[in-house]
Chains A and B, each alone.
Chain A
Amino acid sequence: DAGVIQSPRHEVTEMGQEVTLRCKPISGHNSLFWYRQTMMRGLELLIYFNNNVPIDDSGMPEDRFSAKMPNASFSTLKIQPSEPRDSAVYFCASGFNPGQGAPYEQYFGPGTRLTVT
């Protein structure tokens, strides 16, 4: 059974470029999370979708960041324009939400390591 799939696994780009990170959640899951992890700030929740609808985007750092979930099997996180301080590991996680509150568990993808020079 495939877990959460993220692509690319590594991305190196120059400041000012657009970056798109992709995520395919586990089939049957209806909740999807995007996190950012750095040494300085630890694990930060960026945005959370439930049934393809953004529920909480209060963690999105600024307007340069945007996330979409056009269907139940695909989500993107876009940074435009990228800056060196965006360098981090970005994780996608999915879970099943039974309709009351957050999903019972979250399953994490392997992450995308982003380096902005």
Chain B
Amino acid sequence: GDSVTQMEGPVTLSEEAFLTINCTYTATGYPSLFWYVQYPGEGLQLLLKATKADDKGSNKGFEATYRKETTSFHLEKGSVQVSDSAVYFCARRDNYGQNFVFGPGTRLSVLP
């Protein structure tokens, strides 16, 4: 079935370091792709999205590009802050399916 795979965490970085969190998805259909973020004690929030190949989603300094050739949607940020510490979830929505599929989440800790 449809699935989303993320790099295992936790990821620990120093402030201002470069961040990459890998995400790959199964290639069935033509999914829309999402990154959600969950801050401690809160629900998931949509961070960014891309609906077709080569689209780039961006928000709050985070970016991800929909790569159909590698079935990937890696999350990047050039300079992380302590406030970015959270769990990040990659997700896909099959455009003709009935549901979202979430990845397992990657915990990011940014140290001052």
Contacts and interface: CB of A to CB of B under 8 A. Distances in A.
B33 to A, nearest CB: 12
B42 A56 contact: no
B40 to A, nearest CB: 12
Given A42-B105, A43-B89, A104-B32, A109 B43 contact: yes
A102 B45 contact: no
Contact of B43 (A45, A48, A55, A91): A91
B93 interface: yes
A108 interface: yes
B97 to A, nearest CB: 5
Interface residues of A, number: 23
A102 B99 contact: yes
A101 B100 contact: no
A115 interface: no
B95 interface: yes
Interface in A53-82: 55-56
Interface in B68-112: 89, 93-100, 102, 104-105
Given A42-B104, A43-B105, A105-B49, A110 B96 contact: no
Interface of A: 4, 33, 42-43, 45, 48, 50, 55-56, 91, 93, 100-111
Q: Name the 3 nearest CB pairs between A and B, nearest first.
A: A108-B43, A108-B44, A42-B104
